[in-house]
Amino acid sequence: MLVNSHRYNLWRLLAALLCMLLLAAAMSACGGNPGGGSAANPPTTTFPKPAATVAPPSSLVASGNLTVGTDPSYIPMEYIDTATNKFVGFDIDLSDVLAQHMGLNSAVKRTGFDTLLDDLSNKRFDVVISAVTINDARKAKFDFVPYFRAGESLLVQKGNPLKLKAVTDLCGHKVGVQTGTVENTDLVAASKTCQQNGKPAIDQTVLQSQTDVIQLLANRRVDATFQDSPVTDYYNKVNPGQFEVGGTLTNAAPYGIVVRKGDTNTLQAVDAAFKAVQKDGTYNKLFEKWSFSPEQKIS
């Protein structure tokens, strides 16, 4: 009996140790951060459905729908509400009202940001609305309807202990960024400049999802993250006391609704629908709903 008792107690001890290890691993994976990889509850403001004011494109991926491609990992522009498992965000709301002005339903399709434009070219979608920055390289291959003024900015730990205020400060530091973004491209160029100036390269961690990038910072695995200013501002807002914006906005450039190059019919329909959204006041209400500053509006 004594031997069996010792064996029983040993198994209990091992089981308890295993539970403690699993709990520690889970806490480490979560990073103790409620906002790093998830979103605060989305605003619930709704808008009256507008009457159709614009003729829809003559060629649609699916009849009766405006099929929209997006990468729902870019809070607060587009993401998935875990409570409802539905797409939410500024871009999702904009997709809805644009489609309604064309007498269509909005059908949002999920894909990775680095494949969005290729998927558009392959006619998986009618348009892409996914915080896509307009630049010369993209304009050479696609047409755009500008709808939001943004820029690039750094998110750092509260107090900015490393004094990271610009891309030029990132030499030798660990930085998280989402693949396929303009920030990804800009960091590669900035890292080369660091080395040309005799400084260490930027140590980039490039991930598929922006929420995972932010989680790197929450877990202190990187010194900063580099992303579009609306995303930086959002995570700074919902994580008070944990993060702050490093420096000021740089490389200001608009987001654009992306249309296949030469698809004039769709481009004109989307442009007319966007102007209708501006005219009926819904555009202003979207900015109020998602707490964006008036300076970020397209006039």
Q: How far is CA 37 from CA 126, 202, 240, 271, in A?
A: 30, 24, 15, 34
Q: How confident is the model at residue 23 (pLDDT cuts 50, 70, 90)?
A: very low
Contact 225/196 with Cβ under 8 angstroms?
Answer: no
- Residue-level pLDDT at 237: 87
Q: Are residues 115 and 168 in the same domain?
A: no
Q: Do the domain assignments include residue 16? A: no
Q: Do the domain assignments include residue 120? A: yes
Q: How confident is the model at residue 19 (pLDDT cuts 50, 70, 90)?
A: very low
Q: Are residues 284 and 229 in the same domain?
A: no
User: What percent of the chain lies above the pLDDT cut of 90?
Assistant: 78
Q: Nearest 5 degrees, angle CA 143-CA 148-CA 149?
A: 105
pLDDT tens-place string over residues 117-145: 999 999 999 999 999 999 999 999 999 99
Q: Do the domain assignments include residue 214? A: yes
Q: Residue 14: is its pLDDT beyond 60?
A: no
Give the residue-averaged pLDDT of 282-296.
Answer: 92
Contacts of 297 (CB under 8 A, 6+ apart): 148, 149, 283, 284, 287
pTM score, whole prediction: 0.78
We report the CATH number of the domain holding residue 235 as: 3.40.190.10
- How do beta strands 142-157 and 224-228 pair? antiparallel
- Residue-level pLDDT at 247: 92
If one compares 204 and 8, the residue with the highest pLDDT of the two is: 204
Give the residue-averaged pLDDT of 199-217.
Answer: 97
Range of the domain at 218: 151-252
Q: Are residues 274 and 129 in the same domain?
A: yes
User: What percent of the chain lies above the pLDDT cut of 70?
Assistant: 87
- Looking at residue 133, the DSSP 8-state letter turns out to be B
SS3 letters for 147-191? EEEEEEEEEEECCCCCCCCCHHHCCCCEEEEECCCHHHHHHHHHH
Q: Do the domain assignments include residue 25? A: no
Q: Do the domain assignments include residue 119? A: yes
Q: Do the domain assignments include residue 88? A: yes
- Residue-level pLDDT at 291: 86
Q: Do the domain assignments include residue 36? A: no
User: Could you tell me the sign of the dihedral formed by the alpha carbons of 181, 185, 186, 187, in that order?
Assistant: positive
Q: Are residues 248 and 155 in the same domain?
A: yes
Last residue of some domain: 236, 252, 268? 252
Q: Are residues 137 and 248 in the same domain?
A: no
Q: Are residues 90 and 122 in the same domain?
A: yes
Q: Are residues 177 and 146 in the same domain?
A: no
Mean pLDDT of the chain: 89
Q: Are residues 246 and 287 in the same domain?
A: no
Q: Residue 100: is its pLDDT beyond 50?
A: yes
In angstroms, rounded to a whole number, what is the distance separating the alpha carbons of residues 103 and 49?
A: 10
- Residue-level pLDDT at 36: 47
Tokens for 180, please give them.
Answer: 């396929």
Q: How confident is the model at residue 240 (pLDDT cuts 50, 70, 90)?
A: confident
In angstroms, rounded to a whole number, what is the distance separating the alpha carbons of residues 283 and 274?
A: 9
Contacts of 109 (CB under 8 A, 6+ apart): 67, 68, 69, 70, 124, 125
Domain count, the chain: 2
Q: Are residues 155 and 248 in the same domain?
A: yes
- Residue-level pLDDT at 39: 62
Q: Are residues 267 and 131 in the same domain?
A: yes
